[in-house]
């Protein structure tokens, strides 16, 4: 269980987020969460083998390919994919393994904790940042597109 003081400290202290599973599609939750965090002063490092760049940042195929230090590994992948990601997060010296809403994996938690990483599970980094540091911009999903139709 993560406490409010712990979440506040993590989001205040750590400023570089590798987003595993970040999509280049503007309507995907990973995209607007990363965009929000980027707009609030965080460095976003996209991790997705499908793309060369996302949100103006070089995209890497996996965590171990990132040449710079990473503080938070934010995971937008299904729970069964998380254990290898946790191993990689430990290997690169990340400080926090953050599993998004709906992503719960106790094996990944154990791997990360054994590697001295803090673990946040089943929470959205964007929602928590807006909740704890409110008044810093849009809180919802402002895509700047008004339409009732799904994207093609």
CATH classification of the domain holding 77: 3.40.50.720
Predicted confidence band of residue 48 (pLDDT cuts 50, 70, 90): very high
pLDDT at 64: 98
Whether residue 21 is predicted with pLDDT greater than 90 in this model: the reply is yes
Whether residue 75 is predicted with pLDDT greater than 70 in this model: the reply is yes
Separation of alpha carbons 86 and 16, rounded Å: 17
Whether residue 10 is predicted with pLDDT greater than 90 in this model: the reply is yes
Domain count, the chain: 1
* Cβ atoms within 10 Å of 39's Cβ, excluding its own: 13
pTM of the model: 0.89
Backbone angles phi, psi at 73, to 5 degrees: -105, 110
Within a domain: 36 = yes
**Element (DSSP H or E) covering residue 45:** strand 43-47
Q: What is the DSSP string of 62-129?
A: SGGG--S--SEEEE-S-GGGHHHHHHHHHHTT-SEEEEPTT---HHHHHHHHHTT-EEE-S--HHHHH
Within a domain: 151 = no
Whether residue 141 is predicted with pLDDT greater than 70 in this model: the reply is no
pLDDT at 149: 60
Within a domain: 138 = no
Within a domain: 51 = yes
Predicted confidence band of residue 77 (pLDDT cuts 50, 70, 90): very high
Domain range for 111: 4-132
User: Are the C-beta atoms of residues 36 and 129 closer than 8 Å to each other?
Assistant: yes
Within a domain: 88 = yes
Whether residue 143 is predicted with pLDDT greater than 80 in this model: the reply is no
């Amino acid at each position: 269980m993560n406490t409010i003081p712990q979440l506040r400290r993590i989001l205040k202290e750590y400023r570089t987020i590798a987003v595993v599973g970040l999509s280049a599609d503007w309507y995907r939750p990973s995209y607007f969460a990363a965009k929000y965090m980027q707009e609030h002063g965080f460095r976003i490092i996209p991790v997705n083998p499908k793309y060369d760049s996302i949100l103006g940042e070089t995209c890497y195929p996996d965590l171990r390919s990132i040449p710079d230090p990473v503080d938070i590994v934010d995971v937008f992948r299904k729970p069964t994919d998380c254990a290898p990601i946790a191993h990689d997060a430990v290997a690169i010296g990340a400080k926090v393994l953050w599993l998004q809403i709906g992503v719960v994996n106790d094996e990944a938690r154990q791997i990360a904790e054994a590697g001295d990483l803090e673990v946040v599970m089943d929470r959205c980094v964007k929602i928590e940042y807006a909740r704890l540091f409110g008044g810093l911009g849009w809180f919802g999903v402002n895509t700047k597109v008004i339409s009732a139709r799904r994207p093609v």
